[in-house]
Amino acid sequence: MTADHKRPEDVRAALLAAAEQLIEAGPASEVSLRACARLAGVSHAAPAHYFPSKAHLMAAVLTRAFDDLSDRMEAGRAASDGDGFDRLKAIGLAYIGFALDRPNVYAMMFSTPYPDGADGEMAQAGARASSILAEAVARTERPPTVDQDLGVTFAWVNVHGFVSLLHALKPGSGASREATMAEADRMLSLMAPAFRV
Amino acid sequence: MTADHKRPEDVRAALLAAAEQLIEAGPASEVSLRACARLAGVSHAAPAHYFPSKAHLMAAVLTRAFDDLSDRMEAGRAASDGDGFDRLKAIGLAYIGFALDRPNVYAMMFSTPYPDGADGEMAQAGARASSILAEAVARTERPPTVDQDLGVTFAWVNVHGFVSLLHALKPGSGASREATMAEADRMLSLMAPAFRV
DNA sequence: ACGGCCGCTTGACAGTGTCAAGTTGGAGTT
DNA sequence: AACTCCAACTTGACACTGTCAAGCGGCCGT
């Protein structure tokens, strides 16, 4: 050791990468700060120099994950060429695809109690994903009983709820990704009456 | 101490009660086995004599919670006198009411990785809640595109998703319980086209 | 060339879950 | 009624966690 004065910001990146890797590998609750440090090749107290607490490290990982999620939602939107509801559904399917690909990270995003001061960057990253959904809802034609807020709630509830269903019954997880996405499509289609005139 | 050879099964009950109390009081991840033991007035290793591991203690608490949930769902069903969809919605609202009243317990029910051997009793308790929902769906009249399984999925996804939404944005939690239940009612009403002809 | 300093390490502390070994009170037997 | 035995519970220990307090050691400005 002691010969590792490589580059200044490398350690931070290595810690983030290690944390991400550990989260993806195992159950969220079994990720330890010390294991991240070990994997990153630094001492067990090194993380403290970059993140005030473990929760802040996790928040940093989740911030990046939120960006990934947003990117996928935008990609889904771009790939859709139907009407407003089709676009909304495509975004929802992209959302579900993200949760399928990174289940442990996804679970953390919506179960972790965020650090005290609420990492500003993460709130912003979450807001981006949220606004993509809101905008897609705004572009649908809805019956008078469905205002913007209720529409957003309904849409998010369905995509997130579907993901939760998969997680709750995960042990089996027998279905292939294709079959799961097909089921998601069928279910999201049930929302149509709320987003078409 | 040493004078506490009270009754044989009292310790087990005390541990369960203590665990329940601690879970309801604080964030799920901050409940420690030792704290349960302290609260129950026994030594830190006493729980091991009644539960093989901490996860098993938690599972026992969750088993009782599932029963509470089922009871409430049945009560909601009994209180409804409308058509099939009204009954389904009443059950869903009771479900949401449970999650509002016992948020920490609820969060644990669907995020905890259950103990290895999967406590049989809990699986059974979960199955009861599940079957109440399934039966209510079966009694609705649905369009041909909505089969039984898809209907159950759609219904559960909406109630659970709504609860998750509240939890994710919990910090504010400004809305009163009444207002929240009213919003839940409006949202569940959007499912109507899938459960009425 | 040489201080100062910042990044990282080592060490410690309180706390956790779980295992191993004791202790002790009550029940059963004779 | 004395004695044994057993099971419930306790005490103690271990490895591990997150976090804090010092301390070392190379790099940078002067």
pLDDT one-digit tens code per residue, B93-111: 999 999 999 999 999 999 8
Is pLDDT larger for residue A22 or for residue B123? Answer: A22
User: With an 8 Å Cβ cutoff, are A157 and B158 in contact?
Assistant: yes
CA of A112 to C1' of D5 (A): 51
Chain A partners within 8 Å of B145 (Cβ): 186, 189
C-beta separation of B96 from B111 below 8 A: no
- pLDDT at position A2: 36
Chain A partners within 8 Å of B113 (Cβ): 27, 29
Packing angle of the helix pair B84-101, B120-138 (nearest 10 deg):
150
* B43 contact to strand C (CB, 7 A limit): no
- A41 by Cβ neighbours in 10 Å (0-12 / 13-18 / 19+) ranks as middle
φ/ψ of A87, rounded to 5, equals -65, -45
Q: Of chain B residues 134-173, which have a CB less than 8 A from chain A? A: 145-146, 150, 153-154, 156-162, 164-165, 167-168, 171
* A105-132 mean pLDDT: 85
CA of A164 to C1' of C19 (A): 36
Q: Which range scores top for mean pLDDT: A28-37, A163-172, B154-163? A: B154-163
Is pLDDT larger for residue A113 or for residue B62? Answer: B62
User: With an 8 Å Cβ cutoff, are A154 and B183 in contact?
Assistant: no
- pLDDT at position B96: 98
Q: Which pTM was predicted? A: 0.92
Where on strand D do bases come within 7 A of a protein Cβ?
Answer: 8-13, 16-22, 25-27
Residue A147 pLDDT greater than 70, yes or no = yes
Residues of chain B with pLDDT under 50: 1-6
Nucleotide with smallest C1' distance to residue B2 CA = C24
Short-list A37, A137, A31, A125, CA closest to A77: A137
- pLDDT at position B2: 37
Is pLDDT larger for residue A174 or for residue B48? Answer: B48
Where on strand C do bases come within 7 A of a protein Cβ?
Answer: 7-12, 15-21, 24-26
Chain B partners within 8 Å of A156 (Cβ): 161, 165
Short-list A151, A153, A152, CA closest to A143: A151
* B54 contact to strand C (CB, 7 A limit): yes
Chain B partners within 8 Å of A107 (Cβ): 111
Interface residues 42-81 of A with strand C (CB < 7 Å): 42-46, 48-50
Of A150, A167, A186, the CB nearest to B186: A150
- pLDDT at position A1: 39
Quote the CA–CA distance of A21 and B117 in Å, as a whole number.
Answer: 27
Residue A190 pLDDT greater than 90, yes or no = yes
> Which residues neighbour B158 within 8 Å (Cβ) at sequence distance 6 or greater?
A157, A158, A161, B92, B187, B188, B191
Residue A193: which pLDDT band, with cuts at 50, 70 and 90?
very high
